[in-house]
Amino acid sequence: MDPPGSGVKTVYLALGSNLGDREKNLQQAIQALEVVRQSSIYETAPMLLEDQPWFLNQVVEIKTSLFPRQLLHHTQDIERVLGRKRTIVNGPRSIDIDILLYGQTIMSSDELTIPHPGMAQRRFVLEPLAELASTLRHPVLKRTIAQLLAGTKEQNVRPYNRPGL
Ligand code: ADP
Ligand code: MG
């Protein structure tokens, strides 16, 4: 819980990469974001557009005093700096940064929906998020991350073992 009255929020972000040096892309995003805690890395089959490389996915926790839209612009700047080019919808990307949860905030605009609308069905988000915050409650669905994870179907998500380790 964030202390009442403080402008600092605990935020969970989902990172994904399936282009270039995927591990390095995650690492560089983590550095740029000033991450407090991070999950382990998962390797995931692409869901929507299947003919593309597997993703590496990770969830990170940050503390921020930015407002939600400011935070989105900040994460979009980082995506740009790390070389993300928006070409094919749902296609390969060097880095994707999605805002999953922003404290207990619920909001929806053309630009930004929090909690992230896809998170409750996605194992590649819920598995890493459960490492960091399994008892945290989804502010809309009122269920914990562990409960949401237990309710999702099997998907192609596996722990990522660094090559050479
Ligand atoms: P996706 O993450 O769905 O693969 P993009 O990263 O290109 O695709 O995001 C598309 C748009 O989603 C962004 O331009 C952003 O305005 C919007 N968006 C809405 N809610 C969120 C959120 N919670 N986190 C990140 N982006 C979001
Ligand atoms: Mg995104």
Distance 112 CA to ligand 1 centre (A): 7
pLDDT given at position 137: 98
Confidence of residue 165 (pLDDT cuts 50, 70, 90): low
Q: Which residue has the higher pLDDT, 16 or 161?
A: 16
**Do the beta carbons of residue 124 and residue 42 sit within 8 Å?**
yes
Q: In this model, does residue 158 exceed pLDDT 80?
A: yes
pLDDT given at position 129: 98
In 5-161, the DSSP E strands lie at 9-17, 37-38, 42-44, 55-64, 96-102, 107-108, 113-114, 157-159
**Residue whose CB lies within 8 A of the most ligand 1 atoms, among 59, 72, 96, for a mutation test:** 72
Average pLDDT (2-28) is 92
Query: Which strand (E) or helix (H) includes residue 74?
Result: helix 68-81
The string of pLDDT tens digits covering residues 80-92 is 999 877 677 777 7
CATH number of 9-117: 3.30.70.560
Q: Is 99 in the pocket of ligand 1 (CB under 6 A)?
A: yes
